Chain A
Amino acid sequence: MAFIRFADRPAFRNPWAEFERIRQGLDELSRSYADKGKGQARANVYPALNIYEESDRLIVTAELPGVKVHDLELSVEGETLTIQGKRDSRQNDPGISYHRREIESGSFSRAIALPVKIDTEQVGAKLSNGILTITLMKASEVKPRQIKVTAE
């Protein structure tokens, strides 16, 4: 006796086959988006930021190759952090011819709302090897506080 499995049937005998194919296609599409995303957010404004949270502080990092310290301006106002600066990678040498040009020059400005209240008096920032690291201490009222339990 010959077995014909449901999925092996020719299309004219299974009107749902086409729907099944579409469903599989959609599954694949959503899977590929999910894999690519991996919780990553897309930045629309330069620079792209990574933010880490520790119990008492926030750490904001950005890749800023070619930006000099004196061309960088940071400010914190309330819960908004603003990063501004510029980069100039243009060559002033007259007799040069470019083979490739992928590095851009220009200015940037990005303001980001921080997820918690921070202490604006205690903000540290450093720029090393093109990586900017900003450390923002949380405001004392949002810092976790250990509560001692006493036995009576």
Chain B
Amino acid sequence: MTVGRWRRSPLRLLRTPRLLAAAALVGAILGVVGALPLLFVPSVSSGALERQIAPLCTGTSINPNAAANGARVDRLPAAVASVPGFGTPIVSRASTASQAASLQLGEASAPIGIGTRPGFEANLDVVERADAGDLWVPDSVATRLAAHAGDTVDLHAAGVGEAETVVPVRIHGVFRDLSEQRLSDFWCSLQTAIAPVAYITDNFPPLFTVTDAETYDRLIHATGLRTNITRLEVPFAPAPTTLTSARRSVAELPALYEAVKRATEPTFDERKLSFAPPVLLSSRLGFVTSRSAAIRESVGVSITPMAVVAIVAALGLAVALGRFWLDRRRAEALLLWVRGVSPLAIGGQGAVELALPVVVGGALGWGVARLAIAGVGPSSSLDPGTPAAAAVIGGAVVVGGLVVAAASAAWVARSLGDVRPRLARRRVPVLWEIPVLLLAWWSWDRLRQHGLPLVDGDRVGTIDRWALAFPLLAMIGILGLLARVFGVVLRVGDRATGRRSLAGWLAARRLAADHRPVALLFGLTALAVASVVFAAGLVASADATLQTKAAVFLGADTVVKLTDATLPPPGGLAGRVTAVGRREDVRIGGKPADLLVVDPATFASGSVWDDSFADESLGTLLHRLEQAPVMPDGAEPVIVVGSGLPSGALTIASDPTHPRPFHRVGTSRVFAAFEGTKPLLVARSGAWATAPVATERLLWTTADEAHVRTALRASGAVPFYVLTKDRVIDGSGFLPTLWTFAFFQALGAVLGALALGAVLVYAEARQRARTVAYSLSGRMGLRARTHWAALVAELAALTLGAVVAGATVGIVVSRWVGQFLDAAPRLPPGPLGRVPVGSVAIAVLLGTVLVIVTASLVQRAAGRADVAEVLRGDV
């Protein structure tokens, strides 16, 4: 009984579930905004490491110059094992195609190279296999020899200055040719053996066969071939996944180098016998680590102001929570106030009551931030201690929020019993939006002068913080003004709705009665939507620009050059491929230019195009190119791309005496294969029939690499090379910019949750008034359906209005900022704008669901309320 109630204060919130939910939500938001930046920044450096290590074969390798160092190689594994921090070295060896070796079966023959690496079998795409055998061969070799797994073929080999030897070998298995696939990291050490330099000059390149170490030694010994590639891959143990572990690994490299140096120091006898070239130890980890650190620092600097703003906004929500608590405890707090209890003590009671759900919510928020980083962050690997540090900072923010909530309750409690009529005050509107927009203008000016990302060659791009402030300031300022206008419209708009619909009139009256909090809520919700849409739009635009730049540089998503240029495009790519001819040694009026010869009928299906490239559509340009006649002087129709085209006829370097006249039938600012530095002429295939231009024939396709390789394989065509757009631009320098806006987007989502909570609080705060009004007007004939429609109209005007306003402002501001966000300014096209349709659709959908669900819940609660209790004031 009795005062035990005070000791049970933390549990009292269980009896007010809405307040409990609000406290937990605020705690979660505080936890998220407190922990997220601390988790995000280490995730950035880990992500940067992962992205740089994987495609670049960044592992540490030792090149002992095997051919000259001979037995010293054998001493390396033990030497490496003596250095802590490194695993057992993996030895890869190959006898490459520069030596004469071939497989023969009957009359058929195929030049080969032989290699070995532990674990190779798991990294082959096996086509067929036998139970046992000596050699794994690529399917192109098997096809050429008409051999299968289990067959025995002859290995012909001749060592330097030695007679040819023949060794019978049994084919253990057949695998899909490695040179037809994108190589995985596993093959890093043997990359030069798999795709040797000789490859591009031979008619039919030697293909890489592979076997186990024991068989390799036996074959090498039997044939007299020499191992000319030996690599020791030294894995870091554990593998560096975070900046901390990468730095530790880098710090251990000198010790490894010393151990390797000592182990391979030639003895006096060895020195006498032969020249001993030094052992090479290479690792890009140091470079990658410092670059990742730079990316981390850049992102950290950029997101700090945003993180601070988010924490301040979340503390603002804590203020609202404190007021909400006091509102729900008003009667009791008033009693305490009248009995002389200090406001601080009343606020303290609030803190005690709210502590449990806020802290639990904060822990959940930390968990949400952790999951978000693991799920959608740059990397799930975090530096040791990061989660704990994030928990400490997140906890501090949560506790700070609790203190702020208590202070807020105490502040309101100061004048709780003061029921004096308000002193007449002239309310002077504070147009805070004006200085905010002036600051935005100043920031815009800075943005125009300096741009947003400062990309300088290979250096890591950083973002000008003041320029970054522009979108935030612009959105806050514009939405502030919109919210002000919305408030004014609400005040005067209710008069116009009365005659048409009762539901509309009810909604308008309620909105008008609370026009200030409604306008505030409108602004907050719109800002949340604008932040998400802005960041999503910017990221989508930047990504589209980067992709398009790479595709324009190549001409298509994937470009193939076949070893046999006369073959038609593979049937598997039908409808997605076009054949083009390209020359870069063209001159017009003595000035350099590029020439592209296209098939107008298929060009659009295989090449890259964006409507921003030209004032006319690609179809129109191609149609004109196809239909235009050749002039009497032999001038062929061309599309001119770029500016500064000199006058004169076209000549090519190898045939300068034959000018080829042309006439312009269309122009374009950007076109596939346009490099931006010199004009590009696009002619139709067969142009200048009397003096044909020999061009490099390429296949351009919109299909991805895997699809292309499958189609090539099915058609029997052998690619000379396959280029994809993702290999054109190293985007790591642009990562800070992309990740900064990804963080912006995450905060926008948090702000969205905040707005969602605010809308629910709005609905909850007016629940009693609505219930009373519904109880009374229900007795006078108001139908439940009409009341529900009024609720929907009220919430829709607030929520969906804010979604539309926020999305519009977000899109507009992302377009403004997007024009300065150029990852590779030297490559055309310039920044492309993209509307984040997905984000907008999700915002509209969530807004609609929120409106309908909230209206239904409110209606249900109002319909279930006991009228007598309502009128007595117990509800």
Tell me if chain B binds chain A.
Answer: no
Residues of A near any B CB (own CB < 8 A): none
Q: Give me the interface of B with A, judged by CB distance under 8 Å.
A: none
